[in-house]
Amino acid sequence: MRSHYASADEPTLQNRAWIEQQWDLGRLKAKDGGALLVLDEVQKVPGWSEVVKRLWDEDTAKGVSLKCVLLGSSPLLMQRGLTESLAGRFEVLHITHWSFAEMRDAFGWDVDRYVYFGGYPGAAALIEDRQRWARYIVESLIETTLSRDILLMTRVDKPALLRRLFLLGCDYSGQILSYQKMLGQLQDAGNTTTLAHYLELLAGAGMLKGISKFSGRKVMQRGSSPKLQVLNTALMTSQSRFSYTSAKKDRDYWGRLVECAVGAHLLNGAEGTMVEVNYWRDRGHEVDFVLQSGERIVSLEVKSGRARSDYSGMDAFAKNFKPYRKLLVGGQGIPIEEFLATPIINWLE
């Protein structure tokens, strides 16, 4: 099948006429038996979804065999355009951070390198120079995402608060923090609704997510204190004082990285599926992660080497919710390397 690729990354190309021009090139290629049109960063074109809808409907009416793939680095804006104009005309394919298996196969990484350096393939060649690697992550990925993908494309009334919330999320990744405590840490007179919205923006950008508490009831889950979780451990380590070597020597910090790598693996793996990822805590008992797909529930504890005296949360959770499986990751349980290389849906089957 013939194909045509074009990107709207250049500011001068951000208009509807550009989409029509690229579509016409795709139509020309489709005359010889079908073609594929790939439009990258399409969300940067104002009103892109209305143009795509009109062109797609024209081709459908005329029987033009042109398949179209729309790519975008801002899932929130992509989803908005899809649901407003293209109902019934699309299938969403989620592209998340690279998994351990992908980084291992592409670059020969072991699990420790993945835990520290995360899943950014573009930065893989720089890891021998830690300062250069960290600058790349911060300047090319974090700052670009915050300044361009979020602030310039979505209304944010308090951009400084959004940035501080992201930094706070990296510092407290893997920990449960109420919105009121977040406001106190951020020294801001804002409200919890604003923080919850900003967490959604950061999650939509693939950076930071607030995991809800599992209760068995949706209303209570939405109103719970979130467990902050980075979606790529490189977001933590690139801004920390720990080098790869010193991080491995610090038992508490390395244990936290392992837990966050597991959490990121679960959230990225659940994207685009019917699997929900939560945590559970009740009366001093806690379970690190709870996976749910339909009526099937899996509880999961991460034994990462961090100082922790009580793992009774799994038993308490089991008495209340009767999980399909109880998983221990690390220690005497499933090896971290094996768990990070396994699709999460496997544990629910």
Phi first, then psi: give them for residue 256, nearest 5 degrees.
-65, -40
Same domain flag for 231 and 332: yes
* pLDDT tens digits for range 260-283: 999 999 999 999 899 999 999 998
In a domain, 21, yes or no: yes
Taking only the tens place, the pLDDT of each residue in 286-295 is 999 999 999 9
Q: Looking at the structure, do residues 218 and 143 belong to the same domain, yes or no?
A: yes
Confirm whether 90 is domain-assigned: no
Residue pair 282/110 in contact by the 8 Å Cβ criterion: no
pLDDT reported for residue 127: 97
Q: Could you give the CA distance from residue 164 to residue 185 in angstroms, rounded to a whole number?
A: 9
Q: What is the mean pLDDT of residues 172-184?
A: 92
Give the mean model confidence (pLDDT) for residues 168-191.
89
Tell me what the mean pLDDT of segment 118-134 comes to.
97
Q: How far apart are CA 166 and CA 120, in angstroms?
A: 18
How many structural domains comprise the chain? Answer: 2
Segment 225-245 mean pLDDT: 97
15-38, pLDDT tens digit by residue? 889 999 999 999 999 998 899 999
Distant-in-sequence, close-in-space partners of 92: CB < 8 Å, separation ≥ 6: 79, 82, 272
Same domain, 196 and 234: yes
Sheet of 285-293: strands edge to edge? 276-282, 285-293, 296-302, 325-329
Would 283 be classed as within a structural domain?
yes
- Residues 63 and 18 reside in one and the same domain: yes
Structural domain including 261 reads 100-348
pLDDT greater than 60 at residue 220 = no
pTM across the whole model: 0.88
Residue 117 belongs to some domain of the structure? yes
pLDDT score recorded for residue 16: 87
Residues 74 and 121 in one domain: no
Distance CA 143, CA 120 (A): 15
| Domain closes at, from 85, 113, 142 | 85
**175 and 313 part of one domain:** yes
In a domain, 92, yes or no: no
20 and 117 belong to one structural domain: no
Q: Of 57, 85, 113, which one is at a domain's C-terminal end?
A: 85
157 and 19, same domain (yes or no) = no
- The verdict on residue 94 lying in a domain is no
Token pair of 117 as six digits:
């350096």
What pLDDT sits at residue 91?
A: 86
